[in-house]
Amino acid sequence: MSEILRKDVFSLPEGVIYLDGNSLGPMPRNMPETLSRMVSSEWGQLLIKGWNAAGWMDQPSRIGDMVARLIGAPQGTVVMGDTLSIKVYQAVAAGLKMTPGRRVILSDTGNFPTDLYMVEGLIRTLDQGYELRTVAPEDVAAAIGDDIAVVMLTQVDYRTGRLHDMDAITQRAHQHGAVMVWDLAHSAGAIPVDLAASNAEMAVGCTYKYLNGGPGAPAFIYVRSDLAETIQPALSGWLGHEAPFDFAMNYRPGPGIERMRVGTPPVMQMTALEEAMRVWDDVDMRALRAASIALQEQFIADVEARVPALTLASPRDPDARGSQVSFRFEHGYAAMQALIHMDVIGDFRAPDIMRFGFTPLYIDAGDVTEAVDRIAKVMDDKLWDDPKYKTRNRVT
Amino acid sequence: MSEILRKDVFSLPEGVIYLDGNSLGPMPRNMPETLSRMVSSEWGQLLIKGWNAAGWMDQPSRIGDMVARLIGAPQGTVVMGDTLSIKVYQAVAAGLKMTPGRRVILSDTGNFPTDLYMVEGLIRTLDQGYELRTVAPEDVAAAIGDDIAVVMLTQVDYRTGRLHDMDAITQRAHQHGAVMVWDLAHSAGAIPVDLAASNAEMAVGCTYKYLNGGPGAPAFIYVRSDLAETIQPALSGWLGHEAPFDFAMNYRPGPGIERMRVGTPPVMQMTALEEAMRVWDDVDMRALRAASIALQEQFIADVEARVPALTLASPRDPDARGSQVSFRFEHGYAAMQALIHMDVIGDFRAPDIMRFGFTPLYIDAGDVTEAVDRIAKVMDDKLWDDPKYKTRNRVT
């Protein structure tokens, strides 16, 4: 595990045990300098010339290649931009064009809500009788039939950490002529992913969780190589054009994955993300996965031994989980607030889920032991019963 | 003009005369420190708590109110996010829902290409016989008839600076039952705009030009107050939801303009933009407009007197121009490269337009005099004939 742990790369407040890297990863230590230098020497000195001279224009593809390596995607098949919500819309809209005559988008109740909302919006916009059908996660495979246009799933359930079998579901989707779109928000940088082997048509994800790109870091989209030259972008912005600086009146899709770019990229966020991605240069995803499972197993065993009031909400089989562990507790919101007050940061998801992310780049066994000690303290002393922990924040 | 000029606020390289603030505004001097502090003390120290404790969640509305003041929009009617391309899609998609039965989106050949491309993509996605009709800018008013669903125009032509009459065109659109969408990319921070008085339904714009938000700064969208509670967002992301942190399975649009938010906002870009927007706190837009026109008139007079080979491409009437002046020259690309080499930064737009932006916050009469001296040097000495200036960059 020692070759995975690199606490010195990240800046974490003294004494904090951060088990929320599945929501927002911590800051790589050199980030203030990276951003300060970028704006001073690039924006400040190069001004408009930065698009060429500082390589801003190529950042979305360059970083896309860095993400590709972590998700089993060939070089040149991933591009960064926009938000995950926008990328879901792009992917599903493209998928519908590939399955004419079919009218059902299949998802599950474990999907992150914005994925479902974006599809709802697409369906309302199209107004052609499309249907978003959501089933329980365990019923997805059986629900894939010949009426399904697109299967759109988040691989790791944001509440429970339950992991879908990417290969099996993709295969079943293809047997029934459906297009497969995977949301890898809780997968990229968390578990080994082999997109190319799965043969899925498209995937999307975000980079502010396990990839530590910072708040609002750009999303990514993957399109399978054989489709990249024919796919029709619904969001056909100028930076996805074959020749943006010709300023032609008509859209002509750019080469390959470039066509999934839309507008002017957020250069500061891209710069921060590119810096954060360098951390991954020598990370072996299998070793990281082993380290993550070890931390999770230790956590589950210790919590169950010492805090019986918490009920495991995640699958018990480590191979069926992503890189998080969730427990149910009736007063979970207040308990989590009390815990955060004691510098163990996890988060809460309605109605009763206390969620803990395990990120072996900066969390070790000693952190897990200490975190469980403090969880036990919150529960043994009923700190969750303090009214000050019961007031809901806007973001929880 | 002295009360408008504030060169000390911006960091510009020594000796550079920057006439490209209509493409990418320069860096406010305190930006490195602002970003460095934001990531250190907010991301680095607050981590996930930054969404509440550092006000990240409210930034898009808070900055929206700052932009609103410059474009004649009431508080609470503008929200920031995404890119201009995405905001065009949102606005036009919403406009089509408001005009059932109509099938034509009207624009002009002076519109920025991405606006047209995004509408093309929307039309292809809808696949219901919609048509994008583009006419010459001077023919727009006459082309508005009872078949038009949405009129979508950029107020200031990105090549020539030609200014549309916002009130007259909006009025004509409404007389014919069409929805009006204005792109204010080259208007916000450049000229006084009174959106509320125009009665237009929607407007969009970017913030990296005259508003100096930095490369890839977020876009804005305005929705007229009386429509904000009924408009149906096509891009219905979780941060436009009535209660994002309820994680409900179904989308319910948020209150008012909030529903035009989509995904997780780019906090670093928002922070940079918020800092850049403070520059505008005490800027009187009428005084700025007067200063801009004075600079433009001086520039046109001097160029025409000294460099007859350049032909004015902008309207001669200052009231018919935005805050830029363009000249045509057959070898304009190379001439602009030579000029940039002499530290006068403007830009080139195909096929033959040399474009100069006038931004009275950091450009004064002395700069104009010096710029024209160098333009005359480029032309008198035929520096544009040097082969080294003829190689095209990717971004020009």
Q: How close does chain A come to B350, measured CA to CA in Å?
A: 7
d(CA A340, CA A73): 37
d(CA B316, CA B314): 6
d(CA B224, CA A2): 58
Q: What is the pLDDT along chain A (396 residues), one digit of tens a residue?
A: 448 999 999 999 999 999 999 999 999 999 999 999 999 999 999 999 999 999 999 999 999 999 999 999 999 999 999 999 999 999 999 999 999 999 999 999 999 999 999 999 999 999 999 999 999 999 999 999 999 999 999 999 999 999 999 999 999 999 999 999 999 999 999 999 999 999 999 999 999 999 999 999 999 999 999 999 999 999 999 999 999 999 999 999 999 999 999 999 999 999 999 999 999 999 999 999 999 999 999 999 999 999 999 999 999 999 999 999 999 999 999 999 999 999 999 999 989 999 999 999 999 999 999 999 999 999 999 999 999 998 876 665
Q: How close does chain A come to B147, measured CA to CA in Å?
A: 20
Q: Which pair of tokens denotes residue B122?
A: 């929307």
Average pLDDT over residues B65-91: 98
Q: How close does chain A come to B378, measured CA to CA in Å?
A: 20
Within 8 A by CB and 6+ apart from B275, the residues are B28, B30, B31, B34
The share of chain B scoring above pLDDT 90, in percent, equals 96
**Using the beta-carbon criterion (under 8 Å), do B86 and A125 form an inter-chain contact?**
no
**Dihedral angle sign, alpha carbons of residues A139, A321, A19, A189:** negative
d(CA B308, CA B306): 6
**Using the beta-carbon criterion (under 8 Å), do A263 and B84 form an inter-chain contact?**
yes
- The residue ranges of every structural domain in chain B are 7-29+284-389, 55-282
Closest by Cβ to A32, choosing from B36, B236, B249? B36
Average pLDDT over residues B38-51: 97
In this predicted structure, what is the pLDDT of residue B395? 60
**Using the beta-carbon criterion (under 8 Å), do B234 and A124 form an inter-chain contact?**
yes
How many residues are recorded in chain A?
A: 396
Q: Hey, what CATH class is A7-29+284-389 in?
A: alpha beta
What confidence tens digit (pLDDT) does each residue in B99-122 have? 999 999 999 999 999 999 999 999
In this predicted structure, what is the pLDDT of residue A350? 87
List active site positions of A. Answer: 112, 183, 208-209, 355
* Dihedral angle over CA of A195, A199, A200, A203, nearest 10: 30
**Using the beta-carbon criterion (under 8 Å), do A83 and B237 form an inter-chain contact?**
yes
In this predicted structure, what is the pLDDT of residue A391? 83
Q: Which pair of tokens denotes residue A251?
A: 């859209």
Average pLDDT over residues B120-146: 98
Within 8 A of B237 by CB-CB distance, chain A residues are 83, 85-86, 114, 117-118, 121
Tell me if A84 is assigned to a ligand binding site.
yes
Report yes or no for ipTM above 0.85: yes
Q: Report how many Cβ contacts below 8 Å link chain A to chain B.
A: 306
Within 8 A of B85 by CB-CB distance, chain A residues are 235, 237-238, 262-264
> Is residue B214 within 8 Å of residue A43, measured between CB atoms?
yes
In this predicted structure, what is the pLDDT of residue B391? 83
Instruction: Give φ, ψ of A156 to 5 degrees.
Output: -110, 125
- Topology adopted by domain B55-282: Aspartate Aminotransferase; domain 2 (3.40.640)
The share of chain B scoring above pLDDT 70, in percent, equals 98
**Using the beta-carbon criterion (under 8 Å), do A82 and B84 form an inter-chain contact?**
no
> Is residue A190 within 8 Å of residue A74, measured between CB atoms?
no
Q: Report how far Cα B49 is from the mean position of its chain's Cα atoms.
A: 33
Q: Which CB contacts under 8 angstroms, 24+ apart, belong to A195-198?
A: A195/A71, A195/A72, A195/A73, A195/A222, A196/A72, A196/A73, A196/A74, A196/A224, A197/A72, A197/A167, A198/A72, A198/A166, A198/A167, A198/A170
Within 8 A of B135 by CB-CB distance, chain A residues are none
In this predicted structure, what is the pLDDT of residue B392? 79
* Dihedral angle over CA of A344, A350, A351, A356, nearest 10: -30
In this predicted structure, what is the pLDDT of residue B3? 85
d(CA B81, CA B206): 10
Q: How close does chain B come to A380, measured CA to CA in Å?
A: 25
In this predicted structure, what is the pLDDT of residue A224? 98
CATH for the stretch A55-278: 3.40.640.10
Beta strands A219-223; A202-205: pairing state: antiparallel
Q: How close does chain B come to A309, measured CA to CA in Å?
A: 24
Cis peptide before B28 (omega within 30 of 0): no
In this predicted structure, what is the pLDDT of residue A392? 79
Amino acid code (one letter) for A293: I
Q: What is the DSSP string of B22-62?
A: TTSPPEETTHHHHHHHIIIIIIHHHGGGHHHHT-GGGHHHH
Tell me if A238 is assigned to a ligand binding site.
yes
Q: How many CB atoms lie within 10 A of CB A6?
A: 15
Amino acid code (one letter) for A54: A
User: Has residue B242 got a pLDDT over 60?
Assistant: yes
List active site positions of B. Answer: 112, 183, 208-209, 355
Tell me if B115 is assigned to a ligand binding site.
yes
Q: Which pair of tokens denotes residue A204?
A: 């999307």
**Which residue, chain included where needed, has tokens 């008012």?**
B256
Amino acid code (one letter) for B114: T
Tally of helices (H runs) and strands (E runs) in chain A: 13, 15
Which residue out of B46, B103, B235, B396 would a mutagenesis test of the A interface target, given it has the greatest number of A Cβ atoms within 10 Å? B235
Per DSSP (E only), the strands in B75-189 are 78-81, 104-108, 131-135, 148-154, 179-183
In this predicted structure, what is the pLDDT of residue A394? 60
In this predicted structure, what is the pLDDT of residue B350? 87
B158 CB-contact burial (10 Å; exposed 0-12 / middle 13-18 / buried 19+): buried
Within 8 A of A50 by CB-CB distance, chain B residues are 24, 215
User: Has residue B394 got a pLDDT over 80?
Assistant: no
Q: What are the Cα distances from residue B98, in Å, to A54, B72, B133, B180, B392? A: 43, 23, 19, 11, 44
d(CA A202, CA A88): 10
Which residue out of B20, B238, B274, B342 would a mutagenesis test of the A interface target, given it has the greatest number of A Cβ atoms within 10 Å? B238
User: Has residue B162 got a pLDDT over 70?
Assistant: yes
Closest by Cβ to B268, choosing from A35, A40, A109? A35
d(CA B324, CA B314): 8
**Using the beta-carbon criterion (under 8 Å), do A245 and B394 form an inter-chain contact?**
yes
**Using the beta-carbon criterion (under 8 Å), do B234 and A121 form an inter-chain contact?**
yes
**Using the beta-carbon criterion (under 8 Å), do A125 and B125 form an inter-chain contact?**
yes
In this predicted structure, what is the pLDDT of residue B267? 98
CA angle A120, A123, A124 (to 5 degrees): 85
